[in-house]
Amino acid sequence: MAKKASKSQDSAPPPSSSRTPAPSAGASEAANAERMVLRAKSSEKMKRLAEMSRESEDERRPKSAKTSKGSLNKKKNHKLDSKKPKKPPTAFFYFLEDFRKEYQEQNPDIKSMRDIGKACGAKWKTMTYEEKVQYYDIAAEKRREFDQVMAEYIKRKESGEDPESEDETESDK
């Protein structure tokens, strides 16, 4: 406790009788101006040092192939064909449709798809193969339909019956 008291006494201002008289107003203005000049010079030095370090970092860094101009052009030229058939969902997504309906009936207070998805994933992991078979069958049937439609689409595109896809292939060349 004695140490704390001595610290507070040390940091306290000296008694008013021992104070030296304040310097004149002109002298204090000159001192302030000198401090400002010093601060400005030091900040300029810091800026120059930062710029130099940035330049040296840029020289050291290798240029990545991902940002080359050629790869950017490939992405821009790639167009999606609106007539191309979409892939069917997996068995899990067919299960998710059924599970979501049941889960929302049992838990009407839970609206978050995140919570529903977590519960669905946990249930799917615990299900046996026999329970999942019905969803695998649906997915397999939808996949067969997709394969047939895709084969027809490819034939139309190759034979030139689909004018929209021909324009896209010509612009890609």
- Domain chopping of the chain, boundaries: 29-60, 91-172
* Residue partners of 142: CB distance under 8 A and separation at least 6: 88, 89
Statement: residue 166 has pLDDT above 60: no
Superfamily, domain 91-172:
High mobility group box domain (1.10.30.10)
Tokens of 162: 């689909």
CB atoms within 10 A of CB 91: 19
Tokens of 148: 């047939």
Q: Strand, coil or helix: what is 92? A: helix
The whole-angstrom separation of Cα 80 and Cα 165 is: 9
Most confident of 8-17, 24-33, 39-48: 39-48
pLDDT for the residue 83: 84
Statement: residue 63 has pLDDT above 70: no
How confident is residue 52, by pLDDT bands cut at 50, 70 and 90?
Answer: confident
pTM over 0.95: no
pLDDT for the residue 139: 96
Q: Any idea which of 116-125, 136-145, 158-167 has the lowest mean pLDDT?
A: 158-167
